[in-house]
Structure 1
Amino acid sequence: MSIVGITLVLVAVLFLLLGSGLWVGLSLVSAAWFASEFLTDKNLQTGTNMVSEIWSSSSSWTLTALPMFIWMGEILFRTRLSEDMFRGLSPWLARLPGGLVHTNIVGCTVFAAVSGSSAATLTTVGKMSIPELRARNYPENMVIGTLAGAATLGLMIPPSLALIVYGVTVNESITKLFFAGVLPGILLASMFMAYVAIVSKTSKTWNPDVERGMSFADKLKNSRFLIPVFLLIIVVIGSMYLGYATATEASAIGVLGALALAASQGSLNRSTFTASLMGAMRTSAMIALILAGAAFLKQAMGFTGIPRALADWIAVLELSRFQLLMALLVFYIILGMFLDGISAVVLTMAVVEPMVREAGIDLIWFGIFVVVVVEMAQITPPIGFNLFVLQGMTDHEMGYIAKAAIPMFLIMVLMCFVLIWVPEIATWLPDNIRQR
């Protein structure tokens, strides 16, 4: 069978399995087994290869950071962090053009720096900000849209679960990827805030209640509520930046800090500890199964020759770097409509990585580019996960939420072009951090 035929059969099998409702991880394993057994001319020991590949992909020391950062986010999700952030941020943001809508963006940015999960960021910030902003008569579409978009920052700003998964998949430094995400994450948040400011000055329906003035001393007094979370960010991120800890060690520090924060707020008890541990275990097991399946599929595809053939085909087309990135941008946007971000990354890297290397694209930079596109998948129907979370929190129809999130989607598309035009936004920090 030709390479084209092998590719079409494998894609058909994979999408048939995914469409049947089978777990993503098991679909990847099944498709890999099918490819090894029926789509290669080699006499492969499929069972042995599967066990060996799954074990080697699951026993990576780097991967230890994943469940630890997930657990840190689960602990913080059960604290009063969202209430404290709103009380600490709102006095400073109320007078900006756009007012307290900025608490959605800044709150998500701050929580993303201690969570790594888009869903946890959205739920934590949204459960506090939505009632408060509604009570102050802010436009509903702006409340929903900014929350949907800003929550995706949990995928980029370290500690990012998506960057950990990407780094393990392509064998790149997690610490470098974390720092590559800092400046783009801050820039994207600033772009969201600029959009809010522009709308607040141009929209005829923007008429929120006027906030009561607060003295500078009172603002400083309220800022004390932000001290614990900022200390946690400084300890986790600072330990990596200064070279005192690897990403894995920083994740353990983060868990201890989150437990201390929860204990200081009186939120830590047997029930919340057990719930956070079980939540982290379920999420970690799901992602680990996807990574194991992706590793086996990558090996099976290598045996079929698909990645090499595709890379050769791209070379024959003589696409420029920009043309290749545009093709991948469209590809990931379409794929993101049907798969969650992490699944999209691990599912495609076996094919995309050789193409990107062949084109001479920096894999650290490309990781940030992919994460920005994957962020779009969180707010695009029909499978945008953030849309489902917001639907449960607000009782709005999916169409209304998706429409409210369109401006955020377009800003992320613009961010992709900014990264292409100025790649140093993603590469400067990783090139200048101390490595350990």
Structure 2
Amino acid sequence: MSAILTWLLVLMTATLCLGIWIGPALLAVGVGLLEMFTNRPTHKLIGAWAFNVLTSSDIVSLPLFILMGELLFRTRLSQSLFSGIAPWMSFLPGRLFHTTVIGCSMFAAISGSSAATTQVVGRITLTELLNRGYDRGLAVGSLAGGGTLGFLIPPSIPMIIYAVLAEESLLRLFTAGFLPGIALAGCFMAYMGLRATLNPKLLPSDDHGNWTWSDRFRSLIELGPVAFLILSVLGTMYAGIASPSEASAIGVLGALAVAAFQRTLSWKGLRDALLGSVQTTCMIGMIVLGAFVVGTVLANLRVPQFVSAEITSWNLSPFVLIMFLMFFYILLGTVLEGFSMIVLTLPIVLPVVLAAGFDKVWFGVFLILTIEMAQITPPVAFNLFVIQNITGDSQTYVAWKVIPFFLIMMGFTALMTIFPSFVTWPADFILSR
């Protein structure tokens, strides 16, 4: 077993240090281990595995959700979100600060991407906040934190990858991620409201909003396209009308309808959206295939069982084990992006977590939360890069301002570990009806 682990580490390090893309690197590692430690026909197995994993019902939804996000990126949804949310925020401490988190939550429910959520919502809300005189640091931090919700609130692209690799129901994962996503957004808003209450200087003194009730109700019209898409995608899934793959197709049609209604999608924009979705899907597909090959080979060589037995011999309590994994993923997130973290660690970590008694769906939500933290953990922090492009601030400045939101996410993850039913109960309740 030591020889297998040594070669696994050597092959993985060598391929990554050579700058090979993560998908082909994983595939090369899997093929190398297969050739060295088994006598199975590699060419036949790879073909069969590729067909099985890339034609699964869950992964069929991946290119459609990506296409939906590409289409929505080219609409005026960001302006509609701000115009529809802002008039209602004058009641809350923190006022328009909350437009960022609420906007991110709503766009996350129709995009599935953290970076896209940050980019689309931030280019309008952050500009508006800064122009109106709101505190720059809190505005930047709220966008960085709120943008991570794109991975947790369904439909989530990382959840699709986890569902395929862990062989878990995608609908159960989507259902389990919704309530924690909304609760985490509520924690962000509570923090901003508290900060604004304790330090009123964070708010501009002349921006109380002169909206009448008539203005507020008229503003709801601006949220119509977003509400339409949320009902089209999430509503059809939770009502049992459509499967995740069918809902993704409905989402694409809905995105096209919104783009046509807003008159924002040209033939060039449609071509760019299709080309972008094909490129992203091919990249993720290669990563998923490579991870599946590595995971299957390691399972056949009984590496996960060996690692699980070794960690079990440490006699760690389940809570200590999960906290150890959380800090491990936070550290890993400083050098790897989220997709790589999932595919590199899942074949070994998942059996250990299941042996400790944790639910597979619960661990999926936990893993997505740790990936969200990686999105705002320098130096490899995609959300921070997006915000840098919007504001022109240095990464050091943005990273410093996001620390409170990072700590909120850590505390939320710990509470989720203490009360796991908070994640699993909604899925069991809704899907059992």
Q: What TM-score results when the alignment is normalised by the length of structure 2?
A: 0.97
The structural deviation recorded for 1:174 is 0.5
Could you tell me whether the CA contact under 8 Å between 1:88 and 1:222 is conserved in 2?
A: yes
1: CA distance between counterparts of 2:2 and 2:188?
43
Match of 1:266 in 2: 263
Could you tell me whether the CA contact under 8 Å between 1:127 and 1:393 is conserved in 2?
A: yes
Determine which of 298, 306, 309 is the counterpart of 2:306: 309
2: CA distance between counterparts of 1:16 and 1:100?
49
Is the aligned partner of 1:203 residue 2:199? yes
Q: Within 5 A, what are the aligned runs for 1:153-164?
A: 153-164=149-160
Q: Which amino acid aligns with 1:51?
A: G
Could you tell me whether the CA contact under 8 Å between 1:108 and 1:121 is conserved in 2?
A: yes
Q: Which amino acid aligns with 2:320?
A: Q
1: CA distance between counterparts of 2:312 and 2:402?
37
1: CA distance between counterparts of 2:151 and 2:319?
24
Determine which of 392, 396, 411 is the counterpart of 1:395: 392
2: CA distance between counterparts of 1:404 and 1:138?
14
56-65 or 46-55, which moves further after superposition?
A: 46-55
Could you tell me whether the CA contact under 8 Å between 1:25 and 1:289 is conserved in 2?
A: yes
Match of 2:21 in 1: 23
Count of aligned positions: 432
Is the aligned partner of 1:246 residue 2:247? no
Match of 1:360 in 2: 357
Match of 2:33 in 1: 35
Aligned with 1:314: secondary structure?
helix
The structural deviation recorded for 1:18 is 1.7
2: CA distance between counterparts of 1:185 and 1:43?
46
Match of 1:120 in 2: 116
Q: Within 5 A, what are the aligned runs for 1:2-401?
A: 3-38=1-36, 40=37, 42-203=38-199, 205-208=201-204, 209-401=206-398
1: CA distance between counterparts of 2:55 and 2:398?
40
2: CA distance between counterparts of 1:93 and 1:341?
33
2: CA distance between counterparts of 1:20 and 1:203?
50
Could you tell me whether the CA contact under 8 Å between 1:122 and 1:148 is conserved in 2?
A: yes
| 1:75-96: CA deviation from partner (whole Å, max 9, x where unpaired) | 1110000001100100001331
Aligned with 1:181: secondary structure?
helix
330-339 or 161-170, which moves further after superposition?
A: 330-339
Could you tell me whether the CA contact under 8 Å between 1:160 and 1:178 is conserved in 2?
A: yes
The structural deviation recorded for 1:254 is 0.7
The structural deviation recorded for 1:433 is 2.0
| 1:127-147: CA deviation from partner (whole Å, max 9, x where unpaired) | 111211111111111111110
Match of 1:421 in 2: 418
Could you tell me whether the CA contact under 8 Å between 2:323 and 2:414 is conserved in 1?
A: no
Structure 2, unaligned runs of 5 or more: none
Q: Which amino acid aligns with 2:326?
A: L
The structural deviation recorded for 1:119 is 0.8
Q: Which amino acid aligns with 2:13?
A: F
Pairwise CA RMSD of aligned residues?
1.5
The structural deviation recorded for 1:54 is 2.2
1: CA distance between counterparts of 2:327 and 2:18?
25
Q: What TM-score results when the alignment is normalised by the length of structure 1?
A: 0.96
1: CA distance between counterparts of 2:309 and 2:189?
43
315-324 or 194-203, which moves further after superposition?
A: 315-324
2: CA distance between counterparts of 1:220 and 1:199?
29
Q: Which amino acid aligns with 2:214?
A: A
Aligned with 1:382: secondary structure?
coil
135-144 or 177-186, which moves further after superposition?
A: 135-144
Could you tell me whether the CA contact under 8 Å between 2:175 and 2:426 is conserved in 1?
A: yes
308-317 or 98-107, which moves further after superposition?
A: 308-317
Task: Give the share of equivalent positions with the same residue, in percent.
Answer: 41
2: CA distance between counterparts of 1:93 and 1:21?
47
50-59 or 125-134, which moves further after superposition?
A: 50-59
Could you tell me whether the CA contact under 8 Å between 2:123 and 2:390 is conserved in 1?
A: yes
Could you tell me whether the CA contact under 8 Å between 1:116 and 1:158 is conserved in 2?
A: yes
Could you tell me whether the CA contact under 8 Å between 1:36 and 1:303 is conserved in 2?
A: no
Aligned with 2:357: secondary structure?
coil
Could you tell me whether the CA contact under 8 Å between 2:319 and 2:418 is conserved in 1?
A: no
1: CA distance between counterparts of 2:209 and 2:244?
43
Q: Which amino acid aligns with 1:152?
A: T
Could you tell me whether the CA contact under 8 Å between 1:149 and 1:408 is conserved in 2?
A: yes
Q: Which amino acid aligns with 2:245?
A: T
Could you tell me whether the CA contact under 8 Å between 1:242 and 1:434 is conserved in 2?
A: no
Aligned with 2:91: secondary structure?
coil
Q: Which amino acid aligns with 2:398?
A: I
